[in-house]
Every structure is written in structure tokens, then in C-alpha cells.
Amino acid sequence: MFVMVKAIRKGSKPPIWRRAYLPLHITFSQMAYILEIMLELPLTDQFEFEFYREKDRLIEKQGTKPDSRTYEYSSWYAGKSCVDDWLMSKTWFTFRVRNSEKQPEYRVEIERLLESIRLEGEESENLCYPVLVKEVSPKNDPCWSDGERINRVLKNTCFLMEEKPGYPSFNEVSARIQKQRGIGVCTKLKSQDALISRSVQSMLSETARLLKEAVRADMKTEGGVNTKTSTASARRLQMKKITMLEYLNACTKEELIEVAGQTGFRPGAMSKSKLAFSMARHLLDPDVMRRLLLRLSGEELDALEMAIDRKRFRPSEREWESLDAVSGLNYLVEYSDDTVEVPSDAAIVYENIRHNGYRSFHADAAWLLECLNVFQLLYGVGDAQLLFRMYKQKEGSIRNYAEFLNHLNQIPSELNPCHLLGNKIVSVYAIKNDVYKKIEMMQREVPYYLPSVDEIHDYAIHLYPSLEKPYKTLKAFFQEELKLDQDVCESLCQYTFAHFCRGKMLSDYWEEIQKRGISLSSTRQAERMAGIIINLNNNTRMIDLRGNTPNEVAQMKASPGLAGGPVVPKMENGSGTKKIYPNDSCPCGSGKKYKKCCGRNH
């Protein structure tokens, strides 16, 4: 029995190739000798068959020398492996030899299986040696000579002899051919236990297979997996004391890629098993865990520690509120019976970083992140000393400026809304196109406003000053007058602050409110809302006022031109702005003159 193959020289353009009939029922050591003659490669035992899709390599075992294990490829002893087990079911492989001189490599495509072959002009009934049947190559090819000559060599040296099963090494094949005994074949030849070294990937796959079998057995009594979170199929595991690798091995590749994106890991081109292995190593890196856990609040970190102490358990609804964020970081495994547990190795890593002062670092970093978020809201850009002044107000914070800067540099970039540029803190959004320089140019020469610890907490949680009266009045109007849901009211208050703190136009605000489907049912509502917004505008902390409100700036005497009444709302006038005069139409859209509408109280 033969197989028809096409050996294509890698990297050749246009392709250079030879088609041949090769015998089955032989070992890879025997096949290597045939291919080295057919492709005019050095006769050496330093050969390699590589089946890329199957992640198998067949090589000649080199004495007692230990073979190095690779991640992707398992190595098999060519002298004890029958070619039938691979060539009768695969589509292609790579063949190469390694010696002191670089040799061409070949992609060998398996085209057809043939029971018997009879060549034209042959006296014998069936073909009994390997043979070249066609080739495409340039004249004076540096690697190949005349194909007919190669066929003569194959016929005279590699003729096939039916024998009992044998497993000669490459050197034994070579010695036999020198004695003109040809190539021994046997239809009953079977691969022996020829594994030299198993790949890490195959071991992981086997572990996953055994794990799934155990899961199926366990599921008969404990049920299937919860599909609650983004890594749904990863939670098909029903094993106690699960490890991170076991947990990730049950994910699909798509889910692992999603997890990678959530945790800042760039997978590149990897097989699913290798990705799971790399992801587990990533998530269990102490520095990575320290960084990822900064996304949790103190209460959520308490929940993680509770989960570690309790091992596998069924959390209450209230406990789930804190554990959900832990699960989102993939440090919690969920089961379909509503029980959860922290992977055993993740628990060990966390205990190690906790004993090295992580809780103290976490609390301080959380406070610093609050300061950074409020810094970008109120200033956009400012001296790093200003951030330090905000930060050190809280009891227990670092008091040394150099230590503070070192701590600032430990905040992960993906969590930090600002960057340190020289001695300046700059909001991320203001870095592009040097927007921060424009902010600096438009900022008034007034002292920076310094928010208190309570104000910083409030801004960080709500993204607007929820404790200040103008915003309480606005929210009450949305709730009581317009009957809007709590979430909608919060969103509108956040938008209102974001709009006015950047000094944007009042007319733009009305347009945006209307786009959001907010309509006023009466003139009275329009007048009331206009009054609320104008008062709110004059009491909103603005970036161009360095965190001060227009009312506060108006009371300052330090800078000329800043004293006087409240800052009057502005409306667009082409590319610039203009003051609203008493006889102008009111910006609230009521149709009345400003002096008889929103301006009557000013």
C-alpha cells in the first residue's frame, strides 16, 4: 500500500516540488531515510517530522540523553512509530533535517492512498519501491539533480521486502541498505509506546478531559453550571479545592480572550490550552493581583477574604452584592447550586500579599484614586503639589512629597484618570492634542479651590456635588416635578455638572436635555427649571475658575475685573459668546423676554 505525496520546498516562489509514491507499513525512521534520498538531503538521523495541527514531532531518540519538553509539541520516537497512524488520517506535515549547514524544509501534502500501483513499462505486477512521479523545479536547481537518477537510487537501495514487524533505528536502516537488504515492510506493523516527552499543552488537555469526566459524574448529584457571568462555561466545574488552571481550562477560547481583556493580558496567537496556562500564570502573579484588586472597594475586599476563609459556600443576596466584583476579576468560581469558592492557589497568593501589608496599600491607593478622579473633574490640569494637598488632608496619608510621588507611580495606568507630566498632573482626556495647554491659557488667575475630604468622597461616588444645595434642588425638581426615575435623575445631575464645570453654553444644555426626551409640560415648569439652572450655573465649580464657582470668584478682590455680581449665563453668538440682556429671549425656551422670565430674580 502506498501514499501519494507532494513535497513542496518552503519559501520557494514559484513553488518547487516533487510528487512521489511512498510506502506505508513502515516506521518514521525508515520513511526519513527514503525522504532524505528523494529530496536529496544529507543522510542523517537529525531529522524531524512535524505535524503542526496535531502538535506532534517524530524524531530519532538520541541515546540516553534527556529530551527537553516543549509547551506545544509532544515528541515521539520515529523508530517505534508506524507511519500508518499519522499518514492515513492527516493531510500534511513538515519534514526537515538539522545539521551544521542550513537545509531546505519541505511541506509534504498527503494527496491519496493507493492499494497498489503499476508503472508503465514495468515488468513487475505491482510497484515495490518508492518512486518520484513528477517534479517542478528550475534548471540548475542548487538542491536537486536529475529525478530519473534519484529513481534509480530509490529502486536499487529502498526496494521493499515483506517481513515480520521490525523497529530499526535510522542507523540500522542505513546499515541494512548498505548490505543491499532494502526496506522491511509489514502490514501488521503497529506503533509501540513511542512517547519521548509529552508537551505541557497535551498534559493540560488531558487534565481538562479527566476533569470534565469528573464534572459530568459530579453534576448528576450537584447540577450544572451557573451561566451568570461572562465566563459562563468556565463554571462547569464541580470539583472541590479547584485551582485557577482547572477553572480556566473549562473556558472556551472566546471566553478566555474576554477574560484576558478584562485583566489587561494580551494573549496574541495562542492555542486555547496555552492561553489558559498563560492566563492562570498571569492572574496568580502577585503584582498582577495587587493591581487588579485595586478595582475593588474595601467592602468588596472584605468579601474576598470572607470567601477564602469559608471555602465553598452559598452566599446570601447581600453577600453577592460584594462578591460580584470579585467574580468579575475571575478570582471566584461559581457553581450552578449557587455555591462559590476562591481557587486554592489564588487564595494562597492573596494571603501572601495581605501579610505583606496589602490592605494598608489598598486603602491608601483607593483614597489617592478618589483624589485623582476629583482632580480631573475640578481642574483638568494642575501642579502635582495641588494633588498632594488634596491627598494629605486625610488622616494617616503619606506626608512626605517624594514618597507620595512614588506611591502615585504605583497606581496602574488603566485605573488612573490622570498622568504625571513633569511636575504637572494632567487629565487623560486633556493630553491628546495638548488640550491641557489650552485649559491653562483659559484658567483665571485665582487661587485653586481645595475640596475637603467629605467633598472628595462625594464627587468620587456621584461624579457631581450631590451634597450641595443647587444640585439637591435640581434633583428634587427632576424627581418631584418631572417624576423621573432615580437612575435617570442621577444621570441628569452628572451630565449637568459635566456640562457647566467645563463652561459650556446654557443653550447647548437645553438642547441636550430635549434630546434626552425631557420635556416641560407648562410655562411654570420652564420658568422654575430655568431659575434652578441659572442658580446652579453660578454655583458650579468650574475648570476655567480652578475649581471655584462663579459666585466665589465674583467675591474675590485679589484679581482685577473679577469683582461684581454673579456670572451671567452665556449663549452662543457665532464663534463667540454674548451677554443676555433684559429684552433678549429667555434661553429656557419659554418665548418670554429674559427680564420677565428667568432674569427677573437677578
The C-alpha cell that represents 409 in the structure block: 507611580
Instruction: Please indicate, yes or no, if residue 363 is contained in any of the structural domains.
Output: no
Are 17 and 144 within one domain? yes
Number of structural domains in the chain: 4
Which pLDDT band holds residue 245 (cuts at 50, 70, 90)? Answer: confident
- Mean pLDDT over all residues of the chain? 82
d(CA 109, CA 125): 27
Say yes or no to pLDDT of 62 above 70. yes
For residue 130, what is its C-alpha cell?
A: 518508492
* Confidence category of residue 580, pLDDT binned at 50, 70, 90: low
Between residues 511 and 353, which one has the greater pLDDT? 353
CATH code where residue 25 lies = 3.10.290
Q: Which amino acid is at 356?
A: N
For residues 22 and 5, give the distance between their C-alpha atoms in angstroms, rounded to a whole number. Answer: 7
Q: Are residues 26 and 49 in the same domain?
A: yes
Q: Is residue 290 part of a domain?
A: yes
Among 308, 327, 356, the domain boundary falls at 356
For 215-230, letters b (16+ CB in 10 Å) and e give: beeebeeeeebbeeee
Q: Per-residue confidence at 261, pLDDT binned at 50, 70, 90?
A: confident
CA–CA dist 111, 129 (Å, integer):
18
Residues 408 and 508 in one domain: no
Note whether 230 and 125 are same-domain residues: no
Percentage of the chain lying above the pLDDT 90 cut? 40
More confident residue, 567 or 256: 256
Q: How confident is the model at residue 210 (pLDDT cuts 50, 70, 90)?
A: low
**Cα–Cα distance, 244 to 346 (Å, whole number):** 7
Which of 142, 175, 196 lies at the terminal end of a domain, its last residue? 196
If asked whether residues 440 and 344 sit together in one domain, one would say: no
Overall average pLDDT of the 169-186 stretch: 94
Mean pLDDT, rounded, for 458-472: 92
Q: Is the pLDDT of residue 411 over 80?
A: yes
Arithmetic mean of pLDDT, 162-186:
93
44 and 184 in a common domain = yes
Residue whose C-alpha is closest to residue 555's, from 539, 566, 545, 542: 566
Domain that holds residue 485: 466-540+568-601
Question: pLDDT digit string (tens) for 218-242?
Answer: 444 444 444 343 344 444 444 446 8
- Which of 268, 322, 257, 271 shows the shortest CA–CA distance to 295? 322
pLDDT at 53 over 60: yes
Give the H or E element holding residue 375: helix 358-378
293-310 mean pLDDT: 91
pLDDT in tens, 394-408: 988 888 999 899 889
Does some domain include residue 503? yes
Q: What is the pLDDT of residue 558?
A: 47
Q: pLDDT at residue 475 above 90?
A: yes
Is 350 within a domain?
Answer: yes
Mean pLDDT of 204-230: 48
pLDDT for the residue numbered 565? 38
**Statement: residue 381 has pLDDT above 50:** yes
CA atoms in the 13 A half-sphere facing the CB of 199: 19
pLDDT for res 230? 38
Q: What is the CA radius of gyration of the chain?
A: 38
pLDDT tens digits, 64-91: 554 555 667 888 999 999 999 888 888 8
Phi, psi (5° rounding) for residue 284? -95, 0
Same domain assignment for residues 56 and 154 = yes
Q: Do residues 588 and 481 share a domain?
A: yes
Does a structural domain hold residue 552? Answer: no
362 assigned to some structural domain? no
Residue 572 has pLDDT above 90, yes or no: no
Q: What is the pLDDT of residues 540-565, one digit of tens each?
A: 999 999 999 988 888 885 445 443 33
| Of 216 and 355, the one with more pLDDT | 355
| Pairwise CA distance, residues 430 & 419, whole Å | 10
- pLDDT exceeds 50 at position 577: no
Residues 6+ apart with CB under 8 A from 476: none
Query: 37 pLDDT exceeds 50?
Result: yes
Q: Which H/E stretch holds residue 106?
A: strand 106-114
Q: Are residues 277 and 157 in the same domain?
A: no
What is the structure's pLDDT at 205? 57
**Residue 262 clears pLDDT 50, i.e. is over it:** yes
Looking at residue 71, what is its pLDDT?
62
Query: Percentage of the chain surpassing pLDDT 70?
Result: 83
Same domain (yes/no): 352, 276 = yes
Regarding whether 508 and 372 lie in a shared domain, the answer is no
Looking at the domain assignment, is residue 75 inside a domain?
A: yes
Q: Return the number of other C-beta atoms located less than 10 Å from residue 209's C-beta.
A: 11
Query: Residue 275: pLDDT above 90?
Result: no
In a domain, 242, yes or no: yes
Mean pLDDT of 4-32: 94
DSSP code at position 82:
B
Instruction: Answer yes or no: do 132 and 17 share one domain.
Output: yes
Domain edge (last residue) among 158, 174, 196: 196
| Residues 497, 463 contacting (CB under 8 angstroms) | yes
